A and B are shown apart, each in its own frame.
Chain A
């Protein structure tokens, strides 16, 4: 295949699909094993310094915040992050944990640009920044999900987003036209928050599924946090609702209000005041440190965090749900 142009961005992880197949054969149990553990145990066991990590979904929606906070609490260093997550990445950037970044969008939507991103990238603290589109990074997960090293798409072409990515433009062997090839993205560890899971990791999501399907199939280790742990019978009665089957999952964490201060569709809305406090605090390094101390380092775990937030606020975000 004739390569017309290659992006100059770093390919953060070599897409070795044969090694991934072997990993999935040797390291992922097919047995129904109880995988319920705490955030502390899951992050300690599966997230390590320098690992290539990603989160799902986006912005303030169904974000694995209890897991993301635990990563900060344990001070995991030099993370290589593939991201569309916004709140989680803002947190990690603010805590200075990110070394390399596959970026699509990190901003705070209605609250504007991310001060943490600006400081971490403009100072060069993040050593490598590789550009992708939202479609692009999801299709990279899809390539891994398909078990192939790249996927052809008609996005990103002709732009600097392409130039500063690790994609390639080639002449299509069938049509002769130019097409963009995106390399498969294999994460060392993925974090996904869901509505319900059983003890083995079978997981169901309500509402839009974002890119949970694709990302869950592109991780060597997958930590699922769930609002509710249900009996497997509940899964087996509604298997059509399962997005993630148990054999993809390495840890199941029971995390009620796990997306707070973000939202969880049909369960609770986001907490606007908490988000504003976050955004304001993160405008300075001192503010960021104080915020991380207040909401993460001085609290032992997610349970203490929820107690600190208080029943009134949690009841209020539940009551704000608008229904179907």
Chain B
């Protein structure tokens, strides 16, 4: 048996996120970890993964890692280089299967904050970048995968600001607000665990813990009550092959990892 290879927290996040992406689906890719995960998935099990970038690149071969959502690598050998309206409208028509999101705060319904920290909108205690395309992705893609660092300051009972919709206030709330039916957060890939959302209550549920992490640690680092099922799985650590591809092919310049 091979020795377990060493890896860092970012590499683990990327590998677990990549495993959530099936082949031959469309996926809306943002800056950072989603780009690496999509590129890794393309090179591992999902060669026909269609990467969609918000400013117009669709179907790029992610040979080299984009550093920005509008740069040339987001449409390198793509099938179309169009513009933001085309991409967002493609999502609005139900053509984008997966979206990737992140944020400074997440609540039990998978709503996300990337706008401000503190009780007041303006002037705020801390100003964050804002929605960007996140609100559109969270509104319009079929299934959203959220990638987060996991601690109680980020997994909070109440967001300071709802930038991007998860299940809003619970079952039926998205549809009542006018968002397309059968959409919403699908998985949360965190530094501690893989989570999903309960079919009925739409509240966050623990699916599997990361290597070396206990269920108690996940609970301690979550600021709201998680659903803990009787059976909690364990995520496999990155394999030697995943790490090799990630380090030598996906991000050889070590821009992110």
Min CB gap B120→A, angstroms: 11
How many angstroms between the C-alpha atoms of A207 and B83 in the bound complex?
9
Chain A residues in 8 Å Cβ range of B162? 158-161
From B82, B174, B178, residue with most partner A Cβ within 10 Å? B178
Contact A158 B174 (CB under 8 A): yes
Q: Which of the residues A57, A105, A155, A157 comes within 8 Å of B130, measured between beta carbons?
A: A105
Pick out which of these stretches binds chain A: B16-24, B73-81, B211-219: B73-81
A268 to B54 alpha-carbon distance, docked (Å) = 22
For the complex, give the distance between the alpha carbons of A158 and B167 in Å: 10
- B239 an interface residue at 8 Å Cβ cutoff? no
- Flag whether B139 is at the interface (Cβ < 8 A): yes
Which of B68, B76, B83 contacts A60 (CB under 8 A)?
B68
Query: Which bucket holds chain B's interface residue count?
Result: 35 or more
Asked if residues B92 and A154 are in contact (CB atoms below 8 Å), the reply is yes
**Which A residues are in CB contact (< 8 Å) with B176?**
158, 178
Q: Would B130 and A156 count as touching, CB distance under 8 A?
A: no
Q: A206 CB to closest chain B CB, in angstroms?
A: 9
Chain A residues with CB below 8 A from B122, complex form: 121, 124, 128-129
Return chain B residues, CB-CB under 8 Å to A113.
128-129
Closest to B177 in A: A158
Could you tell me the distance in whole angstroms from the C-beta of B39 to the nearest C-beta in chain A?
15
Q: Mark A180-212, 1 if CB is under 8 A from B, else 0.
A: 100000000000000000000000000111111
> Does B31 belong to the interface (CB within 8 Å)?
yes
With most chain B CB atoms within 10 A of its CB, the pick from A106, A122, A158, A207 is A158
Which chain A residues (156-182) contact chain B, with CB distance < 8 Å?
A: 156-161, 164, 169, 177-180
- The answer to whether B129 touches A106, judged by C-beta atoms less than 8 angstroms apart, is yes
**Beta-carbon contact of A134 and B83 below 8 Å:** no
A142–B81 Cα gap in the complex (Å)? 19
Which bucket holds chain A's interface residue count? Answer: 35 or more
Please, could you name 15 A-B residue pairs with CB atoms under 8 Å apart, sorted by A?
Answer: A110-B67, A122-B124, A132-B131, A135-B135, A153-B92, A154-B139, A154-B178, A155-B88, A155-B135, A159-B168, A161-B164, A208-B82, A211-B85, A265-B71, A324-B76
Question: How many Å lie between the Cα of A133 and that of B31 in the bound state?
Answer: 16
Contacts of B139 in A (CB 8 A): 133, 154-157
B residues 34-60 touching A (CB-CB < 8 Å): 53-57
Contacts of B53 in A (CB 8 A): 208
The smallest C-beta distance from A195 to any residue of chain B, in angstroms, reads: 13
Contact of A122 among B55, B56, B72, B123 (CB under 8 A): B123
Interface residues, chain B, with chain A CB atoms under 8 Å away: 31-32, 53-57, 64, 67-77, 81-85, 88, 92, 111, 115, 121-136, 139-140, 161-165, 168, 173-174, 176-180, 255-256
B123 in contact with A138 (CB, 8 Å): no
A305 within 8 A of B: no
Give the B-binding residues of A (Cβ under 8 A).
57-62, 103-107, 109-110, 113-114, 117-118, 121-124, 128-129, 131-136, 138-139, 142, 153-161, 164, 169, 177-180, 207-214, 263, 265-266, 270, 321-322, 324
Residues of A contacting B125 in the complex (Cβ-Cβ under 8 angstroms): 122
Bound together, the chains give a CA A249 to CA B213 distance in angstroms of 59
Please name all residues of chain A whose beta carbon is closer than 8 Å to the beta carbon of B32 when the two chains form the complex: 109-110
Other than the known A132-B131, A210-B56, what 17 A-B pairs have Cβ atoms closer than 8 Å?
A: A58-B55, A61-B68, A62-B70, A104-B132, A117-B129, A121-B127, A122-B124, A122-B127, A131-B115, A133-B131, A134-B132, A154-B178, A154-B179, A156-B135, A164-B121, A207-B56, A212-B83
